[in-house]
């Protein structure tokens, strides 16, 4: 099998994980990446003594990374270390209440009982249901292709059906949470998990309640060195195995002959390959690389997930009330999502997320006595909005909100300021419209509507990453790589 060649388009998390798996299957693997660095959205930058993770900031399911090192028989500790968090997130509400979301279920239930008077049995019931749904239902989506006939024979489908509650299909996440909890604060807290795949909790199915299992049953973690250490670990493992990377190289075309992939065209050079895996957004893969305008138009019809507006602030002060992960909730959550997915109009009270890695490694990500703030709000995907003026509008709204809840004016402490808009997200990561997760999950059949991991018309062509099955985010991209590698193994090694 060593004579077989596989080309990966894009060195994002999904692309690198696929490269590792295919190299272990005996392929000669070459990765082409248009940027001059690996990681895709999972990148970082430094400015004036402040270090910022540029993209994803939440780390769950570390076993998916450990699995790659185990397959490669490489000691993970030499590449990557992480620790479990005691508190997954601090949640701040307009009325001054602050909830610490402990990763210990009993401590979390006690905190919610004290702060919201929510009966502990409601928390236990909800999280136990989420665990069951994840272990029996989600596992089908995470380990198998939903578009391959062999899934019917391999996946434990009947066990999944046995755990399937009608509410998961016929209730929205918000309606499900309202029936599970007495406190509106908890409804809002657990509605937030819809944003983990860029969706609207007032339309997305209740099935998304299982996402809470990852954070509150399995736990949230922090990778030493920040999130960029995940990128570095995958990249260094791939290099150790002999994967070849070509940076600053944009693929212009995927070429086929008959019904088979034959090669890719890169800067007027042609590279033969029996296997081509695109880690590029599936819309741009069809539109730009396959010149298939009809298929691109079909994908374009699907609703985009939300995007993000991110401010990177170097703060000339420390804030003891904040932790690694912090959420400042909107007073009207439903109106916020209506603005994101329906009207598209600016919203003056956005939910604000602040990530501060310097809290876990003082002095390593910011100068002593200072903090590196990653400040993010959810916004609509880019549809031609004036993001320069919107960034100014939202900066003012965010500062006003934080000032009100924190009880002090934070603006004078902003020493360094950078911004990332949906437009720059699209240009840097080739994410169509700057949407973070490809298509949204705002319908009952959304999970089945995501693009499959293999082409049904071109043998040897595969798709990996956040714009295809099973979805966006680090754990799902890693799962996507496993699905692709297994599809290739089943087809060519049987």
Q: Are residues 174 and 265 in the same domain?
A: no
* 407: pLDDT strictly greater than 90: yes
Q: In what order do the strands lie in the sheet with 352-355?
A: 98-102, 87-92, 325-328, 352-355, 371-379, 307-315, 414-420
Q: Which of 170, 203, 218 is at the close of a domain?
A: 218
Averaged pLDDT for residues 344-353:
97
Residues 6+ apart with CB under 8 A from 350: 330, 336, 377, 378, 379, 394, 397, 398, 401
* 399: pLDDT strictly greater than 60: yes
Q: Residue 398 corresponds to which tokens in the numbers above?
A: 């965010």
Least confident among 55-69, 188-202, 284-298, 431-445: 431-445
Q: Are residues 409 and 337 in the same domain?
A: yes
Q: Are residues 310 and 416 in the same domain?
A: yes
Cα separation, 68 vs 210, in Å, equals: 24
* 2: pLDDT strictly greater than 50: no
Could you tell me if 241 and 20 are in contact, meaning their C-beta atoms sit under 8 angstroms apart?
Answer: yes
Of residues 382, 370, 491, the one with CA closest to residue 436 = 382
Question: With pLDDT > 90 as the criterion, what percentage of the chain qualifies?
Answer: 84
Q: How far is CA 127 from CA 189, 220, 456, in A?
A: 13, 15, 38
Q: CATH number for the domain including 26?
A: 3.50.50.60
Q: Which of 218, 246, 272 is at the close of a domain?
A: 218
pLDDT, tens digit (0-9, with 9 covering 90-100), for 276-297: 999 999 999 999 999 999 999 9
Residue 104 maps to a domain: no
Question: What's the predicted TM-score (pTM) here?
Answer: 0.94
Could you tell me if 351 and 329 are in contact, meaning their C-beta atoms sit under 8 angstroms apart?
Answer: yes
Parallel/antiparallel/unpaired status of strands 371-379 and 414-420: unpaired
The band of 156, judged by pLDDT with boundaries at 50, 70 and 90, is very low
Cα separation, 147 vs 262, in Å, equals: 23
| Structure confidence at residue 441 (pLDDT) | 80
The band of 164, judged by pLDDT with boundaries at 50, 70 and 90, is low
Q: Which of 159, 192, 218 is at the close of a domain?
A: 218
Specify the higher pLDDT residue, 439 or 377: 377
Specify the higher pLDDT residue, 190 or 440: 190
* 144: pLDDT strictly greater than 80: no
Residue 390 maps to a domain: yes
The band of 130, judged by pLDDT with boundaries at 50, 70 and 90, is very high
Q: Residue 19 corresponds to which tokens in the numbers above?
A: 């490269």
| Structure confidence at residue 167 (pLDDT) | 61
How far is Cα of residue 250 from the mean position of the Cα atoms in its chain? 23
| Structure confidence at residue 162 (pLDDT) | 52
Residue 463 maps to a domain: yes
Q: How far is CA 443 from CA 170, 382, 452, in A?
A: 10, 21, 17
| Structure confidence at residue 153 (pLDDT) | 42
How many distinct helices (H) and strands (E) make up the chain?
A: 19, 19
Q: Are residues 135 and 239 in the same domain?
A: no
| Structure confidence at residue 394 (pLDDT) | 98
Specify the higher pLDDT residue, 430 or 131: 131
Q: Are residues 117 and 201 in the same domain?
A: yes
Q: Are residues 132 and 196 in the same domain?
A: yes
Residue 431 maps to a domain: no
Residues 6+ apart with CB under 8 A from 330: 336, 347, 349, 350, 351
Averaged pLDDT for residues 144-172:
57
Q: In what order do the strands lie in the sheet with 5-9?
A: 244-247, 28-33, 5-9, 275-278, 461-463
Could you tell me if 207 and 471 are in contact, meaning their C-beta atoms sit under 8 angstroms apart?
Answer: no
* 344: pLDDT strictly greater than 60: yes
The band of 15, judged by pLDDT with boundaries at 50, 70 and 90, is very high
Cα separation, 159 vs 17, in Å, equals: 29
Q: Are residues 447 and 470 in the same domain?
A: yes
The band of 430, judged by pLDDT with boundaries at 50, 70 and 90, is confident
Q: Are residues 284 and 312 in the same domain?
A: no
**Burial tier of 161 (Cβ tally within 10 Å: 0-12, 13-18, 19+):** exposed
The band of 65, judged by pLDDT with boundaries at 50, 70 and 90, is very high
Cα separation, 174 vs 203, in Å, equals: 8
Cα separation, 249 vs 253, in Å, equals: 12
* 52: pLDDT strictly greater than 80: yes
Residue 123 belongs to domain spanning: 110-218
Cα separation, 141 vs 136, in Å, equals: 10
Of residues 225, 285, 244, the one with CA closest to residue 261 = 285
| Structure confidence at residue 408 (pLDDT) | 96
Rg of the chain over CA atoms, in angstroms? Answer: 22
CA angle, 338 then 343 then 347, to 5°: 65
* 133: pLDDT strictly greater than 90: no
Long-range contacts of 93-99 (CB under 8 A, 24+ apart): 93/185, 93/329, 94/329, 94/331, 94/404, 94/405, 96/405, 97/185, 98/321, 99/185, 99/189
Q: Is 197 helix (H, G, I), strand (E, B) or coil?
A: helix
Q: Are residues 331 and 287 in the same domain?
A: no
Residue 214 maps to a domain: yes
Q: Are residues 277 and 310 in the same domain?
A: no
pLDDT, tens digit (0-9, with 9 covering 90-100), for 350-396: 999 999 999 999 999 999 999 999 999 999 999 999 999 999 999 99
| Structure confidence at residue 256 (pLDDT) | 94
Could you tell me if 282 and 430 are in contact, meaning their C-beta atoms sit under 8 angstroms apart?
Answer: no
* 444: pLDDT strictly greater than 90: no
Averaged pLDDT for residues 448-455:
85
| Structure confidence at residue 159 (pLDDT) | 54
| Structure confidence at residue 450 (pLDDT) | 84
Q: Are residues 416 and 358 in the same domain?
A: yes
Q: Residue 42 corresponds to which tokens in the numbers above?
A: 């999972």
Averaged pLDDT for residues 93-109:
97
Domain count, the chain: 3
Cα separation, 246 vs 262, in Å, equals: 19
């Amino acid at each position: 099998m060593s004579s077989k060649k596989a080309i990966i388009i894009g060195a994002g998390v999904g692309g690198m994980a696929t490269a590792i798996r295919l190299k272990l299957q005996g392929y000669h693997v070459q990765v082409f990446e248009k940027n001059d660095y690996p990681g895709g959205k999972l990148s970082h930058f430094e400015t004036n003594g402040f270090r910022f993770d540029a993209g994803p900031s939440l780390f769950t399911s570390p076993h998916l990374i450990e699995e790659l090192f185990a397959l490669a028989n490489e000691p993970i500790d030499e590449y990557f270390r992480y620790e479990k968090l005691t508190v997954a997130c601090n949640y701040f509400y307009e009325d001054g209440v602050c909830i610490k979301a402990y990763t210990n279920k009993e401590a979390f239930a006690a905190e919610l009982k004290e702060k919201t008077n929510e009966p502990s049995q409601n928390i236990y019931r909800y999280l136990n249901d989420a665990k069951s749904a994840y272990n029996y239902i989600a596992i089908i989506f995470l380990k198998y292709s939903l578009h391959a006939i062999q899934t019917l024979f391999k996946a434990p489908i009947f066990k999944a059906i046995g755990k399937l509650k009608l509410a998961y299909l016929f209730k929205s996440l918000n309606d499900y949470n309202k029936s599970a909890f007495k406190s509106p604060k908890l409804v809002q807290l657990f509605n937030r998990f819809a944003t983990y795949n860029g969706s609207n909790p007032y339309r997305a199915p209740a099935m998304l309640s299982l996402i809470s299992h990852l954070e509150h049953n399995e736990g949230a973690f922090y990778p030493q060195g920040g999130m960029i250490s995940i990128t570095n670990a995958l990249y260094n493992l791939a290099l150790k195995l002999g994967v070849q990377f070509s940076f600053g190289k944009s693929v212009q075309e995927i070429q086929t002959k008959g019904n088979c992939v034959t090669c890719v065209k890169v800067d007027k050079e042609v590279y033969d390959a029996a296997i081509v895996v695109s880690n590029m957004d599936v819309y741009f893969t069809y539109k730009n690389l396959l010149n298939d305008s009809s298929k691109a138009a079909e994908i374009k019809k699907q609703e985009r997930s939300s995007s993000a507006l991110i401010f990177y602030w170097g703060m000339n002060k420390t804030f003891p009330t904040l932790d690694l992960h912090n959420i400042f909730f909107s007073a009207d959550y439903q109106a916020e999502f209506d603005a994101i997915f329906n009207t598209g109009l600016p919203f003056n009270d956005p939910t604000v997320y602040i990530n501060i890695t310097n809290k876990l490694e003082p002095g390593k990500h910011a100068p002593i006595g200072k903090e590196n703030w990653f400040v993010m709000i959810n916004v609509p995907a880019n549809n031609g909005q004036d993001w320069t003026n919107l960034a100014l509008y939202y900066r003012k709204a965010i500062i006003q909100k934080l000032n009100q809840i924190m009880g002090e004016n934070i603006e004078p402490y902003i020493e360094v300021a950078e911004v990332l808009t949906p437009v720059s997200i699209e240009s840097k990561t080739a994410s169509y419209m700057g949407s973070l997760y490809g298509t949204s999950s705002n319908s009952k059949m959304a999970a089945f509507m995501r693009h499959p991991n293999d082409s049904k018309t071109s043998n040897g062509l595969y798709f990996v990453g956040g714009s295809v099955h099973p979805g966006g985010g680090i754990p799902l991209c890693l799962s996507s790589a496993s699905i692709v590698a297994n599809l290739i193994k089943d087809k060519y090694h049987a």
